[in-house]
Structure 1
């Protein structure tokens, strides 16, 4: 018998695999819609649904088995060329996969029970029957009724299976396979074998000594029967032989000769080859990786503290040893962070479904292109960027890309183009959502912003500043409220989510040509390379990839809190950190300016000391400090002091007045940075 922990682990494995199978099935189905002749996609789709059905049968999840069986039957007719995969049929199958996903999420991971929503399933089953040209009396009829075949369609198989002694220890129940085989047909002449059974005093309850011999009358193929045992192929010996002529009476079983293993051997060998390849990949729970990253972060802090103590002692031997430890810790840090790196293509692929559903709802024909899917990003960032990307994609389809009639009227092809792209740039990852639509209406956005009181009517704003107004809360230019737009929510959520990821968003728009939303994100949220600065007795850390240059501030900046100076002929907004955070006024005789940039924006941060580079472990702020602007987290220095990590995106937005406006209102020449 399985222990509760073994059963739970087995069930959790099935649920995880089920989600992956449905994702693969959906990807294959969407690929088929654009490439109907893709036989690989057909086979991949059928295989995913078939495997899901078999796995669900092992856990006696009958409603899930029932729906996947009828979906599989429909797929068989498509695979065999008996039915064309129309858009309506694709929509039906996608709806079935949505319901299967919902069913998997409703499985209780402790008990294995499935709470079925029959009101949702009944219309889907009825639609599947209708698509297959059958009209059952009861749409929810069980699998056994639906699979009933005429005697001419059935064949009797002689099945002999011997289970490995390790079967129980790996969490499998032999009876579960018999229960599922009864779904495929009728089991006859069942005999239980207990080969090499030891004496009772030496019997280990966790060791399996079972085996079965029986006949199976079924219309299922040999491959379908073998697939039932695919999950235990390393823990059993299966012998499967067709009987000719079919055996119809249980008493005839004794006349059947012992079958050989040749029919099943090739497939078993191929399956083992695949399994050996699969073992090169290990699935690890995300929370375990998080724990590892946290421990590595603490190790980085401890190493920094040890280095500081060694420098004070001036012990050359200790200094050499700690330096070696520091190098190894840095290698461990990089290796640990790579464990959480996943390709962004997996997130991009889900937008095939989003684009299909939204474009059909709006009656638009849109082609989605994906680039840079192999670009890697921390999984914690991937998980949080999916929703903002969805908002941007839906916005591009709804607002950006015109209807077919509008596009033809201005000389564009009827089909719109939407592109998702990812690439690395200056230590950050860049995600782009581009369309070839109408672009942003700058005049309309400004008028709406003035009407809502977001900007002064006399303000002189650049086109880029006007475009960024669409991220203000409650802002919308839609004339009518729909399921997709007009309620003033969505784009402000995008900027808020990107701010939390320490990212920045930019907009490139050309009227009548198209628009690109560009998101710049750090590669990881856990450990970063930072640049430490001092203001009085306080320490701050700036993300190193945002530091452009450092230089000495002139005397005119010693007491000035905020203003503009000339940096190579261009106005640079500056902010003194002591004034901004309400710290005691600086008494330093010399001050420095750290020039930071994010995308196209630049600013100068006035500080007292430049303390150099360091590896920074980011600690989130508590709820009490969530309201602080300009701070994204904290870290512990080697000295044990706490340093605050600056949120550069928030500080840049604090400098609200556009550079163009200020430059026109302040005298020239502007104060220049020393050394220019």
Structure 2
């Protein structure tokens, strides 16, 4: 594998390491026992340094070396890990993330010296007597150490344990990395531990090496090479002053020991500083997954066509074979969908840093609580929801959470709380952003809206309608413009982005207790189980998870009230024939499909019930993006098009219709 082919893997792994480092730094000060977290932070920096060295990214290597030196002193108890040092290390992680982003954008190694120098100087200040030293940069492979006055020959003996290969380590990669520290003058292989062929375990390692490294590096740098194999390896390191200088005149190796010519680093080197043994994981291009989902969707449609054809033949054996095939297709469908589903926890975790930084910027004590991190969404939805969530979290911190003194005067804890939660409801994913702040003043919002000309003076609006004004472009109740808010942009962007995902956003608030913004996202990029209904010659699909029950309904003339009685309670319903202007007369006996959304029940009046079908959701063309009540389309087994109903939008219409009926 050429190094340019391996670079994307380095970029992906570095991003994961930096994410782990940031998470550990954000939580380490809250731990009673910090050693494990400190070790994790050190390993992340050390792994990035080692892998970057293999790609010749000397600026990254030099920077992480200084960072690693500080972390090593923290690990040894020589430095206390306090808030200022955590902030500095977070800034260093940000700098490394910027370097990785530049590499991912196709740049050669970015020249970040101007940005790195102040951070390196602050790191050097923690190194005490070494504060005036120049940050160490790893020399080029094979560089002659003679130019350094303190260079010498280090003798190193390595006895790799039997589990090294099973744990995903490449013993030769350690040797290749050592060549980044200096000149490898001698390398010998000891074959004495290799058993007879019939006793040899092909997964076990029997490798013993002895080598001479001419370098000006210190013992810590050499030992650091073997950080992740230390428990599975016998290591002996003899400094230059404690042993004879190795050179060409060394005696011939003893029996069983083979001298190997020192090889230059090769492009086939794989980073040995792996964080953990490799699991059964592979990285797959997202475009390939999209193509797979499309093909599975077509397969489901073709299976529905085959089912209809098999039923028409009345051939028992053919129907049985088709049923078995349909069952396998169901399993393939479920597996394919899971490939694109990711937990929202990784997106939620980003906001620990947002809350950490913003709370210090605005001078408020705020903590973040996360719930529902295991809730899964389609990968593309997760990616597109990150920006709206950022706006909402920052807005909750700036507008929602009160200053500490005010909170104390109201009998609240000094520290405010922002909560992120996610869960499934009626075939949708619900994401909530809540705060325990002062809540919203509906009358103040209405006054601002009137002042800005968004609402006519004297107009009577309900609380939900007033809160919805917050999402209008240019609306803001902030008295001052700050770095976070006050310019009237942000909440309208949130609504626009969520609308683009065919989702909905609503807001609820209690004065003095806090505010909750609730986002509902339909599963527009998935195959779902649907309940098909007919109105005239048109077919509609209701997400099966929203369906509660079906009841028979009769009305005279088709113009009666849009509500029915269900077990002593009023059930509002929507006539799909009227809503979508479907031609023809309704039959004498119709059906009401009772659906539930966000705890609200309402009905859909239809002509025919076709039953459950697997449904492939296809997004609507942008030409129909403004159509209310429809979230997508699907191809039936017969080849006809069925429209998928947007239950959230229909629920709003049912609620408004019920309110109008109540007022009359």
Answer whether TM exceeds 0.5 for this pair.
yes
Question: Is 1:158 equivalent to 2:153 in the alignment?
Answer: no
Q: Which moved more, 1:359-368 or 1:544-553?
A: 544-553
Change beyond 3 A, Cα 1:444–1:593: farther
Structure 2 residue aligned with 1:24: 20
Change beyond 3 A, Cα 1:487–1:583: farther
1:100-146 alpha-carbon deviations (Å, 9 max, x no partner): 11211222687x8323344333333333334445798897874559x
Structure 1 residue aligned with 2:326: 326
Gaps of at least 5 residues in structure 2 are 192-208, 258-270
Q: Pick from 56, 62, 67: which aligns with 1:60?
A: 56
In 1, Cα distance between equivalents of 2:306 and 2:477: 57
Q: Pick from 114, 117, 134: which aligns with 2:109?
A: 114
In 1, Cα distance between equivalents of 2:254 and 2:363: 63
Q: Which moved more, 1:367-376 or 1:435-444?
A: 367-376
Contact 2:392 2:433 (8 Å CA) reproduced: yes
Contact 1:429 1:521 (8 Å CA) reproduced: yes
Residues 589-668 of structure 1: pairs in structure 2 closer than 5 A? 589-601=588-600, 603-653=602-652, 657=656, 659-660=658-659, 662-666=660-664
Structure 2 residue aligned with 1:537: 537
Structure 1 residue aligned with 2:66: 70
Residues 452-491 of structure 1: pairs in structure 2 closer than 5 A? 452-455=452-455, 460-491=460-491
Change beyond 3 A, Cα 1:83–1:605: same
Residues 443-454 of structure 1: pairs in structure 2 closer than 5 A? 443-454=443-454
1:613-635 alpha-carbon deviations (Å, 9 max, x no partner): 21111112234433433332211
In 1, Cα distance between equivalents of 2:415 and 2:256: 59
Normalised to the residue count of structure 1, the TM-score between the two structures is: 0.79
Structure 2 residue aligned with 1:265: none
Q: Stretches of 4+ moved more than 6 A in 1?
A: 134-141, 147-155, 176-179, 256-261
Question: Is 1:565 equivalent to 2:563 in the alignment?
Answer: yes
Change beyond 3 A, Cα 1:556–1:71: farther
Q: Which moved more, 1:15-24 or 1:79-88?
A: 79-88
Give the Å deviation of 1:257: 7.4
Gaps of at least 5 residues in structure 1 are 196-210, 262-270, 667-676
Q: Pick from 169, 178, 189: which aligns with 1:181?
A: 178
Contact 1:240 1:259 (8 Å CA) reproduced: no
Change beyond 3 A, Cα 1:481–1:544: farther
In 2, Cα distance between equivalents of 1:56 and 1:43: 20
Contact 1:155 1:219 (8 Å CA) reproduced: no
Q: Which moved more, 1:297-306 or 1:572-581?
A: 572-581
Normalised to the residue count of structure 2, the TM-score between the two structures is: 0.80
1:465-505 alpha-carbon deviations (Å, 9 max, x no partner): 43343333433222222222223333333334444445444
* SS, match of residue 156 in structure 2: strand
* SS, match of residue 50 in structure 2: helix
Contact 1:377 1:524 (8 Å CA) reproduced: no
In 1, Cα distance between equivalents of 2:148 and 2:28: 33
Change beyond 3 A, Cα 1:78–1:524: farther
Contact 1:54 1:227 (8 Å CA) reproduced: no
* SS, match of residue 242 in structure 2: coil
Structure 2 residue aligned with 1:670: none
Structure 1 residue aligned with 2:120: 125
Change beyond 3 A, Cα 1:19–1:220: farther
Question: Is 1:49 equivalent to 2:48 in the alignment?
Answer: no
In 1, Cα distance between equivalents of 2:228 and 2:35: 24
Q: Which moved more, 1:374-383 or 1:405-414?
A: 374-383
Structure 2 residue aligned with 1:99: 95
In 1, Cα distance between equivalents of 2:538 and 2:351: 46
In 1, Cα distance between equivalents of 2:416 and 2:153: 53
Report the number of matched residues: 618
Q: Which moved more, 1:39-48 or 1:76-85?
A: 76-85
* SS, match of residue 486 in structure 1: coil
Contact 1:531 1:542 (8 Å CA) reproduced: yes
Residues 517-556 of structure 1: pairs in structure 2 closer than 5 A? 517-521=517-521, 525-555=525-555
